[in-house]
Amino acid sequence: MDEFRRNTELERSAYQDGELSLGRYNILIGLHLIYGIFLTALICYTMSGILVNYYGNHPFIFTILFFVVSLGGSSLARRGSYPIALLGYTITVLGFGSLLATVLPFYALPLIGAAAGMTLVVLLIMTLAALIMPKAFLSMGRTIFIALIGLIIAELLAMLFHVYNYGLFGMLGLFLFSLYIGYDWARGQRCPKTASFAVYTALNLYVDVINIFVRILSLMGRRR
C-alpha cells in the first residue's frame, strides 16, 4: 500500500484536471473503456486484411512496432493532462487493435461473439467483486504482478522447448487477468477523481479485457 501511495502521489503531480464526483468519474471510466473497445473493433473490421498480410511478410517488424506503440502510448497516458492521456490511450488501443486484427480472421464470427459475451460477464463479475471488497484486491497487487511475470517466462520457455500447453496456460492467464480487473478497478477508485485518471484506469481495464478476450477465444477455438 505504501508503494501504491507513492506512485499515486507521483502521478497526481502530472494531472492537473479538476476533481469530479465519484459518479461522473466512474461513468468516464466506462465511456473510455467502450471507446477503446469500439476503436479496436473498427480496426479489426476495416484493416484485418492489410494487417494480416503485413504481419505475414514482416512478423519481426510488426512485433517490434506493437511493443513500441503500446508501451509508448501507455507511458504517455499516465503522464499528462486529459488530452495527452487520451492521446496515449488511443495510441495504445491502435497497437492492441492492430495485433488483434491479425488474430480474429482465423475464428468464426459466432465464436468471436460468444467470447466477447463471456468477457463481458467476467468484467462485470470482477468489477462487482472489487466494489464489494476493494481492500482484498489492492492487497494482492504485487502477488498477481509477480505471478504474471512468472507466467510470461514459463510460456516463453514452454514455446522454446515445444511443450506449450494451450489449455493450461490459457486458464492461468484468464485467472490472473480476471484478478487484474478487480485490482485495476479498486486502484482506480483510490486515485484522484479526475478525467485523466479515468482515462488511465480505463486503459488498464482495456488491456485486461483484451487479454481475457483473446484467451477465452483461444480456449473456445481449440475445443472445436
Q: What share of the chain is helix, strand, coil (3-state, %, to 5)?
A: 85, 0, 15
Quick one: which of 28, 14, 16, 33 has its CA closest to 120? Answer: 33
Read off the pLDDT of each residue in 29-55 and give the average, rounded to a whole number. Answer: 95
| pTM for this entry | 0.89
Give tens-digit pLDDT for 142-179.
999 999 999 999 999 988 888 888 888 889 999 999 99
Torsion of CA 218, 68, 39, 59, to 10 degrees: -50
Give tens-digit pLDDT for 87-106.
999 999 999 999 999 999 98
Neighbours of 156 (CB within 10 A): 11
Quick one: which of 187, 200, 15 has its CA closest to 90? Answer: 200
**pLDDT exceeds cutoff 60 at 40:** yes
